[in-house]
Amino acid sequence: MSAQLDSYLGQAWQRWDLLVGDDGASEQDLAVLSRFRRIAGPLGHQVEIRQGPRRGFACNYLTMLRDLPPDTDFVALSDQDDIWLAPKLERAVRALGQVEGPGLYCGARLIWDPVRNTRRSSRPLRGGPSFHNALVENIACGNTIVLNRAALHLIQRGLALTDIALTDAVPFHDWWIYLLISGAGGHVLHDPDPQVLYRQHPGNALGAGEAGWNWIRARRDVSEGVYRDRLERNLVAISAQRWLLTSAHQDLLDRFIAARRAPWPLRLRLIAGLGLYRQDALSQLGLWGAIAFARL
């Protein structure tokens, strides 16, 4: 954690404060945070530690977003496996300054295996960000996300409509954010140049893994119904905020929900007509397999 906190101090953009959601931190982690607060305070950075809801990491993040002051200009998400490269915040703020309305900045990551001392960039996107992509895949990795004020307001409106996103209905907070921002017609900006060093270890909530292992894990998730369960929970949650979506995306959401319930082979034909896509060829193939074998 010390390297992560030091990377905040090393940012080119220094107009930041830190809010930590303690969702079960160890005494050692709390001691590190206390030392950091003593260092960061005189440098002009407020560090606040709040008790989390202890209902999972997704609920912890969304609770903090719900409770942020509405005049917050930008919000960057981070977790304990991050080291930020110095330009990260500056690049995000510059990119978001070019958009009108809700804006979500995210990007590629440098996947770091400290045991093997290797680094590699996450795979580039084959297609752009969109609601058609967000319905079946998340590309907005939480530790790369930066939101502008309009995006924060949209998220807070969504959480005010219903507390369903603050329950275990949402498997991943970042996926829900990607769904909401893209579905509401906001701007999703994906930076192809990695600005986050993402440390891999057995405790990662959802590690990046190697490409081959990712494919094996994805096949397992599809065959065991894990992927279908995540989609179902996402659809329940985003349906509760459907009035924030554009009319076209409300229609797409309704058609996707109906198509998933249709019998074979009508299901295949209906979903094929929706234009849904994942970001690489193997994942797209897996999507068609999930559709064909009723695992979507």
What's the mean per-residue pLDDT of the chain?
89
pLDDT at 120 > cutoff 70: yes
pLDDT at 209: 42
pLDDT band at 217 (very low <50, low <70, confident <90, very high): low
- How large is the average pLDDT for residues 256-282? 91
Q: Which residues of 190-202 are buried (b: 16+ CB within 10 A; e: fewer)?
A: bbeebbbbbbbee
pLDDT at 168 > cutoff 90: no
pLDDT band at 204 (very low <50, low <70, confident <90, very high): very low
Closest CA to 106 of 250, 283, 243, 279: 279
Percent of the chain with pLDDT over 90: 68
- How large is the average pLDDT for residues 180-198? 98
More confident of the two residues 268 and 250: 250
Delimit the domains of the chain by residue range. 1-52, 53-292
pLDDT at 213: 39
pLDDT at 32 > cutoff 90: yes
pLDDT at 80: 82
pLDDT at 166 > cutoff 50: yes
- How large is the average pLDDT for residues 259-265? 90
Whole-prediction pTM value?
Answer: 0.91
Closest CA to 44 of 16, 13, 72, 68: 16
DSSP character string of the chain? -HHHHHHHHT-S-----EEEEESS--HHHHHHHHHHHHHHGGGT--EEEEE--SS-HHHHHHHHHHHS-TT--EEE---TTEEE-TTHHHHHHHHHTT-SS-EEEEE--EEEETTTTEEEEPPPPSS---HHHHTT-----GGG-EEEHHHHHHHHHHHHH-GGGGTTT-S-HHHHHHHHHHHTT-EEEEESS--EEEE--TT-SS----HHHHHHHHHHHHHTTHHHHHHHHHHHHHHTTGGGS-HHHHHHHHHHHHHHHSPTTHHHHHHHTTT---SSHHHHHHHHHHHHTT--
- How large is the average pLDDT for residues 92-103? 98
Lowest average pLDDT, out of 64-68, 207-211, 258-262, goes to: 207-211
pLDDT at 288: 78
Beta bridge partners of 82: 198
pLDDT at 182 > cutoff 50: yes
CA atoms within 13 A on the CB side of 112: 13
pLDDT at 210 > cutoff 90: no
pLDDT band at 294 (very low <50, low <70, confident <90, very high): low
CATH code for the domain defined by 53-292: 3.90.550
pLDDT at 206 > cutoff 50: no
CB distance 276 to 136 below 8 Å: yes
pLDDT at 26: 85
